[in-house]
């Protein structure tokens, strides 16, 4: 590389910095050197630089949306064994197309503890982030705390509106603990606000028909009515996967 060529490349990198094109700026020195030795047409070099910027922005956006989602563990389909799940494989494949998200439909996964409900929902919504969707993940208790915290200054509606910025709102582990009045209200408000506008993905130890065992019947009925109107209901069954792994020595790494 001659001194003049090096200087021009340096000027290009500085211009890209000022234009706030960080991914092009990072790729520019090596890519421009390749373009020169390979005798690329100017348009080819420009296309390659723009492709680097676009790919970098997409990757950055995915990282930001994944961080904002609030996933509990970071589990994906890389650690999912579809043959061990009681969810039929055709159902798994159909849900992984994410067509239900584009139609603002809901997904309810219910069954005994340890049968892969949360893992499946997390892997599914991790995949949805890769596809360009926004996700917000909550336990039912977190929703209740949110409503209680915002009730003091009458900003509950604003808090629910912020939740609705996501394309998929996950509510995990319903049915494990008693439901307070604030929590029941939070569930209803979230489901009502999302109705036919966003997708709710919910895991529960109880079928939604039994929610009146957890909360006042009037709130339960109104919640379930909106939740199930456009919903795919998936039932899991069998023994706890966690307990099975624990009793067979697969729950921990062997000690050295």
- pTM for this one? 0.82
Model confidence band, residue 5 (pLDDT cutoffs 50, 70, 90): confident
Is residue 228's pLDDT more than 90?
yes
For residue range 169-189, list pLDDT tens digits in order.
Answer: 999 989 877 788 889 999 999
Q: Which CATH superfamily is domain 77-247 in?
A: P-loop containing nucleotide triphosphate hydrolases (3.40.50.300)
From 193, 190, 234, 223, select the one nearest 100 (Cα to Cα). 234
Rounded to the nearest 10 degrees, the angle between the axes of helix 22-38 and helix 3-18 is 150
Q: Map 172-202 to HEC letters.
A: EEECCCCCCHHHHHHHHHHHHHHCCCCEEEE
Q: Across the chain, what does the average pLDDT equal?
A: 89
From 162, 160, 157, 100, select the one nearest 127 (Cα to Cα). 100
Looking at residue 246, what is its pLDDT? 52
Model confidence band, residue 223 (pLDDT cutoffs 50, 70, 90): very high
- What would the mean pLDDT of 185-195 be, rounded to a whole number? 95
For residue range 34-61, list pLDDT tens digits in order.
Answer: 999 999 998 999 999 999 999 999 999 9
Is residue 247's pLDDT more than 60?
no
For residue range 83-120, list pLDDT tens digits in order.
Answer: 889 999 999 999 999 999 999 999 999 999 889 999 99
For residue range 134-145, list pLDDT tens digits in order.
Answer: 999 999 999 988
Is residue 242's pLDDT more than 80?
no
Q: Where are the domains of the chain?
A: 3-69, 77-247
């Amino acid at each position: 590389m001659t001194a003049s060529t090096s200087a021009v490349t340096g000027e290009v990198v500085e211009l890209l910095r000022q234009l706030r094109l960080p991914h092009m700026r990072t790729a520019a020195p090596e890519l421009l050197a390749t373009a020169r030795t390979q005798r690329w047409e100017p348009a080819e070099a420009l296309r390659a630089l723009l492709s680097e910027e676009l790919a970098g922005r997409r990757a950055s956006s995915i990282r930001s949306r994944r961080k904002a989602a609030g996933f509990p563990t970071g589990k994906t389909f890389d650690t999912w064994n579809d043959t061990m799940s009681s969810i039929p494989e055709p159902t798994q494949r159909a849900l992984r197309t994410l067509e239900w998200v584009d139609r603002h439909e809901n997904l309810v996964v219910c069954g005994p503890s340890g049968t892969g409900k949360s893992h499946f929902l997390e892997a599914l919504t991790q995949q949805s982030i890769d596809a360009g969707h926004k996700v917000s993940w909550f336990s039912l208790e977190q929703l209740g705390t949110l409503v209680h915290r915002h009730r003091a200054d009458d900003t509950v509606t604003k808090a629910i509106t912020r939740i609705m910025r996501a394309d998929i709102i996950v509510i995990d582990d319903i049915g494990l603990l008693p439901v307070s009045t604030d929590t029941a209200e939070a569930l209803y408000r979230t489901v009502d606000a999302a109705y036919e506008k966003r997708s709710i993905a919910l895991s529960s130890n109880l079928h939604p028909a039994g929610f009146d065992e957890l909360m006042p019947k009037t709130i339960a009925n109104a919640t379930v009515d909106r939740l199930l109107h456009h919903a795919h209901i998936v039932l899991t069954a069998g023994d706890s996967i966690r307990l099975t792994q624990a009793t067979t020595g697969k729950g921990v790494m062997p000690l050295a």
